[in-house]
Amino acid sequence: LNRRLDGLGTTIFAEMSALATATGSINLGQGFPDTDGPRGIAEAAARAVLEGRGNQYPPGPGIPELRTAIAEHQQRFRGLAYDPDTEVLVTAGATEAIAAALLALLEPGDEVIALEPFYDSYAACIAMAGAVRVPLTLRAPDFRPDLDRLRALVTPRTRLLLLNSPHNPTGLVLSPDELAAIAALAVEHDLLVVTDEVYEHLVFAGAHHPIAALPGMRERTVSISSAGKTFSFTGWKVGWVTAPAPLVAALRTAKQYLTYVSAGPFQYAVAEALRLPDAYFEDFRADLRRKRDLLAHGLTSAGFRVFNPEGTYFITTDITPLGEKDGVEFCRALPERCGVVAIPNAVFYDDPEAGRSLVRFTFCKKDEVLQEAVSRLARI
Ligand code: PMP
Ligand code: GLN
């Protein structure tokens, strides 16, 4: 392993999901639903396979039907107009979009300011690009970004702001005022913004506001989303980018040599999913909000300090009230102690001390699974 990837070993998600399988535990670690997305959308994928649509290499940027559906979705939900031919790119999940963006846009030595705790692939991709990550640390209890601190982090080497809202793992949703301040800074210093919005449809308090819609932002913003979260098909790995044509062209160049193209038949199905009526998106959010409340209540009763998330399908907790200090040790022992798997937030920090006593649970699981997990946790 080269020095750039030193210390990046095995992702925490692989480690903890393997532990869940080995111990037969309830897996509230890795964020994937235990119920598949709409049956009609699964049938659309099956039909595409059987009818021979997408079984051979599809077009590199994505099939036209899906690029059009992505552009329509951005218009319908965000009021943003993108040209499906030049301003949309289909990727192998949001993960590839993040990789393509960072590999295509960064020079070695460039500084990237990212909200910390950061989703694990950010650190890896910044490292693979030879760039330098500069964390803007979000702190309990409310995890709001310190905008003065952000301003102070900008240097002549800063090239890009890497945002994530709704934010994994804290559940923070950037407010209109925060977005406006970040946008003003990006314009002032001529920075690029890559914004990971995979949880855009999972906002429980307030609303999701796309930073690309703010003055001066469209031309410098790469917006990323994914079908995995919104339609509960995380295994399909269909993601996308919307950005101005020169940025999409740059990402397309990188994507050509990462995966060349994304899996064909799923693209037809996701094109249908993006056109589902508003009721689908509303019901999805309402269902997850109910699950959030169920898990938050259960964790509170079990003695955790719960930071109620405004968005995503994760709850961050503090284990200090349980007499515990170290989230990594706690999560390694939890399957043996009570048959539940969670993720230690410390792995999302450069400075593990900052998230030492924080532990993340996902609530994208059946109600009875959440109830059983909570009753097990209440016994520790
Ligand atoms: N970004 C964030 C913030 C995530 O939580 C995840 C994981 N679902 C991804 C990106 C990766 O998304 P995908 O599975 O579409 O690659
Ligand atoms: N995004 C999901 C999470 O944060 C899992 C994705 C992954 O396993 N890479 O749990």
What is the number of helices (H) and of strands (E) in the chain? Answer: 13, 13
- Residue ending a domain, choose from 247, 274, 301: 274
Residues with CB under 6 A from ligand 1: 31, 93-95, 119, 164, 168, 196, 198, 226, 228-229, 234, 237, 239
Q: Tell me the ligand closest to 233's alpha carbon.
A: 1
- Confirm whether the ipTM is greater than 0.90: yes
| Distance from Cα 131 to the centre of ligand 2, integer Å | 23
- Quote the domain boundaries for residue 134: 39-274
Which residue's structure tokens are 């995503």? 312
Q: Is 30 in the pocket of ligand 2 (CB under 6 A)?
A: yes
Q: Are residues 25 and 79 in the same domain?
A: no
| Distance from Cα 88 to the centre of ligand 1, integer Å | 18
Q: What is the pLDDT of residues 34-75, one digit of tens each?
A: 999 999 999 999 999 999 999 999 999 999 999 999 999 999
Distance CA 216, CA 246 (A): 16
Q: Angle at the Cα of 347 (from 363 to 11), degrees rounded to 5?
A: 80
In 223-302, where does DSSP find H-type helix? Answer: 227-230, 245-258, 264-274, 278-301
Instruction: Output the domain CATH number for residue 298.
Output: 3.90.1150.10
Q: What is the pLDDT of residues 78-100, one digit of tens each?
A: 999 999 999 999 999 999 999 99
Q: Are residues 168 and 309 in the same domain?
A: no
Q: Which residues of 319-351 are buried (b: 16+ CB within 10 A; e: fewer)?
A: beebebebbbebbeebbeebbbbbbbbbbbbee
In this prediction the pTM is 0.97
Q: How many residues does the chain have?
A: 380
**How many domains does one find in the chain?**
2
Distance CA 159, CA 131 (A): 10
Q: What is the pLDDT of residues 331-360, one digit of tens each?
A: 999 999 999 999 999 999 998 888 999 999
Q: Are residues 153 and 207 in the same domain?
A: yes
Distance CA 228, CA 33 (A): 9
Q: What is the pLDDT of residues 203-249, one digit of tens each?
A: 998 899 999 999 999 999 999 999 999 999 999 999 999 999 999 99
Q: Are residues 51 and 193 in the same domain?
A: yes
CB atoms within 10 A of CB 255: 28
